[in-house]
Amino acid sequence: MTRMLIIGPPGSGKGTQAERISERLGVVAISTGDIFRANVKGETPLGVEAKKYMDAGDFVPDSVTNKMVRDRLGEDDVDGGFLLDGYPRTTAQVDYLDGILATGEQKLDVVLQLTADDEELVTRLLGRAKETGRSDDNEAVIRHRLDLYHGQTEAVVAKYAERGILTQVDGIGGIDEVTDRVMQAIKAAQSA
């Protein structure tokens, strides 16, 4: 059984790699973005609350996000393991996730961090914005998102590094090349 987390800056290929890891390891990939969308679409009480913040362009508060993640991790399809993408983003969320897992006498096996140079990511995201026609992805917005990522996740990454479960993988290169590095890193982490 594998319980893991994938962390990486915007444009690092987290979503793509999460799908590939999920397929190869036979674990469910859980994206907080997907959880938000499902709750909003289903008009659940948490979804209605989250939508207020999302519509205003604000972050959904931890209290709402935590409850959504707790509900999702309580579903049957995670019994064989899971890959969390986009959560936890803060040390308070790390503590909350620890509590969720502890109730089932579980813990994370590995935290995979995709790393990439900011300038490479800006170039990659600007190219993607051009391809998809996303006008909201200009250089200033992209750099702001990268600054937020670095500011939010450094403490999270440090916490998992202290526990000895953090594995860093270079996220730059071809998709297959990165997937090969990711799978080798997971295998090495699990046998350590």
Enumerate the active-site residues: 14, 89, 128, 134, 145
Instruction: Flag whether 160 is marked binding.
Output: no
Instruction: Flag whether 91 is marked binding.
Output: no
Instruction: Flag whether 103 is marked binding.
Output: no
Instruction: Flag whether 13 is marked binding.
Output: yes
Radius of gyration, CA atoms only, the chain: 17
Instruction: Flag whether 124 is marked binding.
Output: no
Instruction: Flag whether 86 is marked binding.
Output: yes
Instruction: Flag whether 8 is marked binding.
Output: no
Instruction: Flag whether 59 is marked binding.
Output: yes
Task: Tell me 136's DSSP state.
Answer: T
Instruction: Flag whether 80 is marked binding.
Output: no
- DSSP one-letter string for 14-43: HHHHHHHHHHHHT-EEEEHHHHHHHHHHTT
Rounded Cα gap, residues 121 and 54, in angstroms? 25
Closest CA to 54 of 72, 42, 39: 39
Rounded Cα gap, residues 60 and 158, in angstroms? 24
Instruction: Flag whether 16 is marked binding.
Output: yes
Angle of helix 91-103 versus helix 139-163 axis, rounded to 10: 50
Instruction: Flag whether 128 is marked binding.
Output: yes
Which residues lie below 8 Å from residue 6, measured CB to CB, with a gap of 6+?
A: 14, 17, 18, 21, 83, 84, 85, 111, 112, 113, 114
Q: Which residues are annotated as a binding site for ATP?
A: 11-16, 128, 173
Q: Which residues are annotated as a binding site?
A: 11-16, 32, 37, 58-60, 86-89, 93, 128, 134, 145, 173
